């Protein structure tokens, strides 16, 4: 059976793995698994293009029994200058054939747009077709949007992610900014609102000065997951080992045992 993000018990810890070679990628996956990661997001942007074969991809996506999804964002070797979105979609489908559990489809796939959210009907129809193709292969779809430079109020985030759900995705995701206490409190309210109103599991994360704290707390307020990394110095993402320790102890959202 193909591994599944949807069958994981939420909240869970997913490791972002971004290495230069498939061999280094496998090593990082196994290291992060030992440190407590329960799922993996594999950034393919630094790989050489000749590594995008089914056999090489399968060696990565089958190195652990835990669910994995590729990142095929428009950066580095996968920039828009090096790969158009039609080819990007075919790469995503190839990773599914190679064993990936899900794909991360950008919210502005086929139409680069502010906040990575297209409103173009033709692009949305093409997204829905790609989503159907991924589902037909037995895999899941996360749709992502990055607005790292913007603080976005709760109701606007809800409308944004509800739109993604309407396109047929399994997990909508957004990354926004929180630079002060007021924005952090609004981010907490946002996560609670999303948990109440959305019909799908979601990812709501912040960057900025308060980003790391939000990433620790969001899973306890209803977000499906938080991300960790193997190496320090990769933005607001905590180390996998640190995130595992915090999430193990930050358990106030669970019922306490009855006192004797």
Query: Which residue numbers in the chain have pLDDT < 50?
Result: none
Instruction: Please tell me the distance from the alpha carbon of residue 145 to that of residue 108, in angstroms, as a whole number.
Output: 8
Query: Where along the chain do its domains lie?
Result: 12-247
Task: Output the pLDDT for position 235.
Answer: 74
Task: Output the pLDDT for position 236.
Answer: 85
Instruction: Please tell me the distance from the alpha carbon of residue 109 to that of residue 205, in angstroms, as a whole number.
Output: 20
CATH code for residues 12-247: 3.20.20.70
User: Phi and psi dihedrals of 176, rounded to 5?
Assistant: -125, -165
Task: Output the pLDDT for position 84.
Answer: 98
Token couple for 212: 């790391």
Task: Output the pLDDT for position 254.
Answer: 61
pLDDT digits (tens, 9 = 90+) for 28-43: 999 999 999 999 999 9
Give the HSE-up count for residue 53: Cα atoms under 13 Å, Cβ half-sphere: 5
Is pTM beyond 0.85 here? yes
């Amino acid at each position: 059976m193909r591994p599944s993000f949807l069958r994981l018990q939420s909240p869970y810890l997913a490791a972002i793995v971004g290495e230069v070679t498939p061999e280094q990628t496998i090593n990082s996956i196994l290291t992060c698994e030992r440190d407590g990661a329960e799922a993996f997001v594999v950034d393919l942007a630094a790989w050489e293009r000749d590594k995008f074969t089914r056999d090489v991809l399968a060696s990565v996506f089958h190195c652990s029994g835990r669910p994995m999804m590729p990142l095929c964002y428009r950066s580095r070797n996968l920039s828009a200058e090096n790969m158009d979105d039609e080819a990007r979609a075919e790469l995503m489908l190839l990773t599914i054939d190679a064993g990936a559990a899900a794909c991360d489809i950008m919210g502005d796939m086929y139409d680069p747009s502010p906040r990575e959210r297209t409103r173009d009907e033709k692009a949305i129809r093409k997204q829905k077709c790609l989503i159907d193709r991924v589902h037909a292969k037995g895999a899941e779809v996360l749709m992502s949007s990055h607005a790292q430079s913007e603080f976005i109020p709760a109701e606007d985030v809800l409308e944004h992610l509800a739109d993604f759900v309407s396109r047929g995705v399994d997990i909508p995701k957004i990354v926004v900014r929180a630079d002060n206490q007021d924005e952090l409190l609004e981010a907490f309210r946002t996560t609670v609102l999303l948990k109440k109103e959305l019909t799908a599991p979601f990812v709501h994360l912040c960057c900025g000065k308060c980003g790391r704290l939000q990433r620790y707390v969001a899973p306890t307020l209803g977000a499906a997951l938080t991300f960790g990394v193997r190496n320090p110095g990769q933005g607001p993402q905590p180390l996998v080992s640190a995130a595992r320790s915090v999430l193990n102890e930050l358990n106030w959202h669970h019922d306490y045992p009855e006192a004797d």
